Amino acid sequence: MSKQFQFKLVLLGESAVGKSSLVLRFVKDQFDDYRESTIGAAFLTQTVTLEDQTTVKFEIWDTAGQERYKSLAPMYYRNANCAVVVYDITQSTSLEKAKSWIRELQRQADPNIVIALCGNKLDLAARRQVSQEEAKKYAEEEGLMWGETSAKTGEGVSDIFTSIAKKLPLTAPPSARAGARAGPARTGVDLNKQAAAGQGQGEQCNC
Amino acid sequence: MDRNDYYGGDSASLNLTQLYRKFRPDQAVPQDLGRDRDYAVDLIPKFIIASGELTRILVHTDVTRYLEFKQIAGSFVYRDGKISKVPSTEMEAVKSPLMGLFEKRRAKKFFEFLQNWKDEDPATHQGIDLDKDTMAQVYEKFGLEPGTQDFIGHAMALYLDDDYKKGIARPTYERIVLYTSSMARYGKSPYIYPLYGLGELPQAFARLSAIYGGTYMLDKPIDEIVTDADGKFVGVRSGNETVKAKQVVGDPSYFGAGKSAEGGKVRVVEEGKVVRAICFLKHPIPGTDDADSAQIIIPQNQVGRRNDIYIACVSSTHNVCAKDVYVAIVSTIVETDRPEQELAPGLQLLGPIHDKFVSVSSLYTPTSGGEADNIFITRSYDATSHFETVVEDVQNVWKRMNGKDLVLKKREVNVEA
Ligand SMILES: Cc1cc2nc3c(=O)[nH]c(=O)nc-3n(C[C@H](O)[C@H](O)[C@H](O)COP(=O)(O)OP(=O)(O)OC[C@H]3O[C@@H](n4cnc5c(N)ncnc54)[C@H](O)[C@@H]3O)c2cc1C
Ligand SMILES: Nc1nc2c(ncn2[C@@H]2O[C@H](COP(=O)(O)OP(=O)(O)OP(=O)(O)O)[C@@H](O)[C@H]2O)c(=O)[nH]1
Ligand SMILES: [Mg+2]
């Protein structure tokens, strides 16, 4: 039988670097030229099947703009198994911002978190401000994965998620994995199920 | 906007660094408590009633997708010097050491009466009218002893004092039914609790709100509430920026709580004080069968007080502290000028206390509803051990702001990227 894993993946990076566009490309293979700043996305899931038929399901958390005004909650990083920190290759300031997120992750997140640095908007390479050498060197120094993508053309997108899936510690028994809050690994009480049962007992709920 | 750099305001859950910064700014965090990041210590102890109003809101708004809950392992009550499990069915009442043999039979009849009650079937009423008779009369009809009334009224109906006995019986009936139905839901106690502490609740709501376009600013001082010549709300000033809005909502600390009015308008008044002791233990609370978590209620009459003493205990099972540490918070409404001593009956039940942080906080209530000046102020978190009064306040503020009741109806849009 093939093995199944579920991991929480968080996205970080300056506004407008293309975080939501990357997710949209990865999950739905779509792109939108006039994408608004993210609202409306709770989290999405997408499954990657590796060569040995192991499936890795990503529960992908987009920031919903909470990174503005320093208000990203600890809950966002909590139990994240992997993080994709995105910069825009046409904006050198966005790499600086990415570096500060990486420092924040190294301080706050689980020490075993897998971090990928991702240079997006590869289709705009003519306007490049961040060289591949510079970003790659930084990633190597910090022990990060690195790749360039274009959410617009799709180039590099599935590669980066697949490499993350391969790098995640798939050998650990499911119970030993940090995270995996959703899905069968949840051990807490199930409010939803119980509430449905409760409604039958005359609880007022017009939902 | 929040002046703190963490979510949750008064009801945040803090790590050790934040806790020490708040209570003992001049002291380093001790090394013997384990890793800082393992801690999420609630500033205000509250549990969630499994069938209560907050659970309904959590499920309805779908914030449950960000949260995970565990049961509180036991609900206990203090009687005649020791603690026992709160019985919640006639079966448990029969086994409970809280009552003598004859009292058990009377209590069994009382619980059967409550369980069988049907509004439309007078045969189940046994001559009692829940909307006319007082609770005192109902107790009298079943001949229940004062000590039994104490645990029913305080540990099940969760009243803070004895005034309820003079009122009609229905609200008490409803509260006991809420308790027993919550108990029936998960089995060990009527309470549930979010992993990583209560501070997860505001974080989850903040995330939900961000997903719908809300903007949060942490670490943002609020320097002034700006009003026009008629005293109506204009905006709030932070440094040299002023944000304008039609309405403002906030807790009393942003509206002059604890400060002298200095010619300005008095917007909140103090109603009383709560004393709370956050205690770190290195063992479970004695007499709770080594429960990883518990609520203990000490009814006021049992210790000669006017207000109950509450103990709420959680542990590493709830991801709020290091392994083998237990966090117990003892609280009550202040009645004398030596508040810490008032907690003694509760502190004594804990066994050796590794460390404790005692604080006295004032309970504030707004002086006006806010309809006239568009300034809507909530009440401080009270001494109750659960969130039901908080939810009532949220609903009440909503109504003041919008002129109609908060109705949770089915969402029409499906939110997705
Ligand atoms: C029991 C409970 C029920 C809740 N129900 C809802 C709900 O139905 N809908 C919803 O959107 N959010 C709800 N919340 C979330 C809560 O109101 C959040 O505090 C709020 O959504 C976000 O407030 P904030 O931006 O001020 O952030 P926070 O960081 O939570 O708080 C910021 C500041 O706001 C003030 N504040 C916090 N909580 C309150 C409050 N309840 N009333 C007034 N001022 C407050 C404090 O001064 C705090 O410093 C609930 C929270 C709790 C604990
Ligand atoms: N040319 C090009 N444009 C892109 C690419 N990815 C994203 N964009 C555009 O960049 C803009 C911002 O993309 P988003 O995905 O909304 O960026 P974000 O990082 O999620 O932004 P916030 O939600 O504000 O944090 C949009 O107009 C996208 O169409 C890409 O690979 N190439
Ligand atoms: Mg976005």
* DSSP-based three-state secondary structure for B409: coil
* Nearest bound ligand to the CA of residue B11: 1
Cβ pair B58, B203 in contact under 8 A:
no
User: What is the CA B223 to chain-centroid distance, rounded?
Assistant: 29
Is B68 in Cβ contact with A186 (below 8 Å)? yes
- Whether the pLDDT of residue A39 is over 70: the answer is no
Greater confidence, A180 or A56?
A56
Calculate how close chain A gets to B416, using CA atoms only, in Å.
Answer: 5
State yes or no: ipTM above 0.85: no
Contacts of A64 in chain B (CB under 8 A): 207, 210-211
Q: How many residues does chain B have?
A: 417
Calculate how close chain B gets to A133, using CA atoms only, in Å.
Answer: 34
> Ligand 2, closest atom to CA A31?
29
Calculate how close chain B gets to A132, using CA atoms only, in Å.
Answer: 30
In which band, very low, low, confident or very high, does the pLDDT at A171 lie, cut at 50, 70 and 90? low
The model's pLDDT over B392-412, given as tens digits with 9 standing for 90+, comes to 999 999 999 999 999 887 655
Strand partners, B47: B386
Rounded distance between C-alpha atoms, residue A90 and residue B141, angstroms: 81
Question: In 3-state terms, chain A is what percent helix, strand and coil (to 5)?
Answer: 35, 20, 40
Res B282: pLDDT:
96
Of A24, A65, A75, the CB nearest to B66: A75
Cβ pair A14, A101 in contact under 8 A:
no
- Mean pLDDT lowest for which of A65-79, A128-142, B104-118, B383-397? A65-79
Q: What is the fold of B1-72+204-403?
A: Guanine Nucleotide Dissociation Inhibitor; domain 2 (3.30.519)
Contacts of B8 in chain A (CB under 8 A): none
Contacts of B212 in chain A (CB under 8 A): 39-40
Cβ pair B214, A40 in contact under 8 A:
no
* Nearest bound ligand to the CA of residue B215: 1
Res A125: pLDDT:
96
Res A177: pLDDT:
44
Chain A with chain B: Cβ pairs closer than 8 A? 112
Rounded distance between C-alpha atoms, residue B117 and residue B115, angstroms: 6
Q: Which two structure tokens, joined as six digits, stand for B65?
A: 């997708």
Contacts of B407 in chain A (CB under 8 A): 206
The answer to whether residue A2 neighbours chain B at the CB level (below 8 Å) is: no
Q: Ligand 2 centre and the CA of A35: distance in Å?
A: 6
Tell me the residue type at A205: C
Considering Cα of A138, then A144, then A150, then A153, what sign does the dihedral take?
Answer: positive
The model's pLDDT over B280-338, given as tens digits with 9 standing for 90+, comes to 999 999 999 999 999 999 999 899 999 999 999 999 999 999 999 999 999 999 999 99
Q: How many residues does chain A have?
A: 207
> Ligand 2, closest atom to CA A38?
23
Q: Ligand 2 centre and the CA of A22: distance in Å?
A: 8
- Minimum Cα–Cα distance from A64: chain B residue: B211
Task: Indicate which residue's Cα is closest to atom 7 of ligand 2.
Answer: A18
In which band, very low, low, confident or very high, does the pLDDT at A68 lie, cut at 50, 70 and 90? low
Q: Ligand 3 centre and the CA of A32: distance in Å?
A: 12
In which band, very low, low, confident or very high, does the pLDDT at A66 lie, cut at 50, 70 and 90? low
Q: What is the fold of B75-186?
A: Guanine Nucleotide Dissociation Inhibitor; domain 1 (1.10.405)
User: What is the CA B344 to chain-centroid distance, rounded?
Assistant: 21
Report residues whose beta carbon is within 6 angstroms of any ligand 2 atom: A 13, 15-21, 32-35, 37-38, 63, 65, 120-121, 123-124, 150-152
Is B408 in Cβ contact with A39 (below 8 Å)? no
Which domains does chain A show, CATH number per domain?
Answer: 4-201 (3.40.50.300)
Q: Ligand 1 centre and the CA of B54: distance in Å?
A: 13
User: Which of A66, A72, A79, A108 is the mutation pick for testing B, counting most B CBs within 10 A?
Assistant: A66
**Which residues are within 8 A (CB) of B136 and not within 5 positions of it... i.e. 6 or more apart?**
B165, B166
Q: Ligand 3 centre and the CA of A21: distance in Å?
A: 7
Residues of chain B falling short of pLDDT 50: 413-417
Q: Where are the domains of chain B?
A: 1-72+204-403, 75-186
